[in-house]
Amino acid sequence: MNDAYLNFVNSPFGARLASALGLPKPAVLRRYRADRPEFEGWIAVGAGPQPRMLEALAGMIARTGMTGVAHESAGLWISLAQRHAMMTGRFEPVVSGAGGSTQGRMSALLFDASGIEDVTQFDTLHAFFHDALRSLDTCGRIVVFGRPPEACATTRQWTAQRALEGFTRSLGKEARRGVTSSLIYVTPGAEALTEATLRFFLSPRSAYVSGQVVRIDAVAHALPVFDWTQPLAGRRALVTGAARGIGASIADVLAAEGAQVIGVDIPSAKEALDHTMRAVNGTALAFDIAAPETPAQLAAALDENGIDIVVHNAGITKDRTIAKMTGAAWRSVIDINLAAQERIDDALLEAGTLRHGGRIIGVSSISGIAGNAGQSNYATSKAGVIGRVQGMAPHLLDRHITINAVAPGFIETQMTAKIPLAIREAGRRMNSLSQGGLPVDVAQTIAWLAHPGSAGITGQVVRVCGQSLIGA
């Protein structure tokens, strides 16, 4: 639960020793705090030819209060920024040995690649990041916008847009110092649905999310009215496994965003569940999610007011190699981690308990993406969560319900504290940020997917893994 190495190398003596010995120096990640501004500082903006997103982005960045400065590749930016009454200017690169730039370090680098139609048009992509990466602050953000390859009109455009994945993932590995790098594909017509996602990726809320590719689709319906400071106000959220660990943090973050939380956990964890729910003014329901009667009982318990957000977080491990794994260990992991979710969703959807415009979020794992020795049952269940999200998404579109999954990597919890030291240390360090994530990192990612503004994101899996090498 406590990363002693990270604390040590960020002390004055430890920092000197680490640098003398050439040891990795993971940055202390900047995380969201309600008492600090969420968005501040400068964003350098670059663009490829015919940028299609800049107009929408100018309005969104103006609303964050940040200052966007234009790289020479984004000449249009200054007039767009002025139209939105935003402070702006030309980006001044840091030139080593020539005194500092008059601009502070950049909080974020944002590149609009949406108009790139051919790989021969990549020069501005290189020029922007070549000029700007050194200006990016510790824990800065890289965000690239493109078009989903499958929505491209020509195969050349498809190729160029797909190539952006390799680019943004490489910058995540190269930048270090707590910097994250992500690619957002925006379907034509979905530009206005991008704001919640842009905010998430610019914010300290996404501290442990890097190397990710997110697709935003257009939707035919209007978004509900919401307040950016309390986006989940008036919404009810069901969180399973809420007594402790990641589940308790999800309850906490969703409540802070305004949701009324109903937490579920096994009867033997009732005391811890009551404690967690009291802290968030929520309701505790002591149910074993795998019990056959639970789906109907849950639907009945929620029936009067329905539910808007369902987070399937409860999960267990029973690790053994397949030759040593009993049938009971196999079945209980599949049942709790996967089949119970299916039964609960079916019951809530059939009874109409999950309301129109709702959100379902499953908790998968990078084990479900990469597989893991000794975890065939767990990895099967977590890969199944991904399949379920992808398979269910089209069937829920008519109710405006989205279904997505998060796939955590190494998160500092009681579960990972039990891993033997050497394996634990390897798990912690084998990612671009050289450290484990915290439960709140998973919780914040779930809150973004639960956001009313995330209506264009469905059927997707977002890893919360610091760009782990596992399953990369």
Residues near ligand NAD, by CB under 6 A: 240-241, 243-247, 264-266, 269, 288-290, 313-316, 336, 363, 365, 408, 410-411, 413-416
Token match 């960020």: residue? 10
The CA angle 431-437-439, to the nearest 5 degrees, is 155
Active site residue: 5, 185, 208, 378, which one? Answer: 378
Indicate the residue among 5 and 410 with the shorter CB distance to ligand NAD: 410
Using the CB atoms, write b or e for 381-391: b if 16+ within 10 Å: bbbbbbebbbe
Answer whether 226's CB lies under 8 Å from 257's CB: no
Minimum distance, C-beta of residue 420 to ligand NAD, in the bound complex (Å): 15
Token match 């020539």: residue? 98
5 is annotated as an active-site residue = no
Indicate the residue among 180 and 381 with the shorter CB distance to ligand NAD: 381
Indicate the residue among 315 and 466 with the shorter CB distance to ligand NAD: 315
Minimum distance, C-beta of residue 181 to ligand NAD, in the bound complex (Å): 22
304's CB contacts (< 8 A; 6+ apart) are none
The torsion angles phi and psi of 362, rounded to 5 degrees, stand at: -100, 150
Burial (CB count within 10 angstroms: exposed 0-12, middle 13-18, buried 19+), residue 214: buried
Indicate the residue among 38 and 288 with the shorter CB distance to ligand NAD: 288
Minimum distance, C-beta of residue 454 to ligand NAD, in the bound complex (Å): 20
Indicate the residue among 96 and 414 with the shorter CB distance to ligand NAD: 414
Minimum distance, C-beta of residue 274 to ligand NAD, in the bound complex (Å): 12
Minimum distance, C-beta of residue 297 to ligand NAD, in the bound complex (Å): 12
Indicate the residue among 10 and 317 with the shorter CB distance to ligand NAD: 317
> Could you please report the per-residue DSSP string of 101-154?
-SS--EEEEEEE-TT--SGGG-HHHHHHHHHHGGGEEEEEEEEEEE--GGG-SS
Minimum distance, C-beta of residue 23 to ligand NAD, in the bound complex (Å): 24
Answer whether 212's CB lies under 8 Å from 463's CB: yes
Token match 């789906």: residue? 295
Q: CA-CA distance, 472 to 411, in Å (whole number)?
A: 17
Residues taking part in catalysis: 378
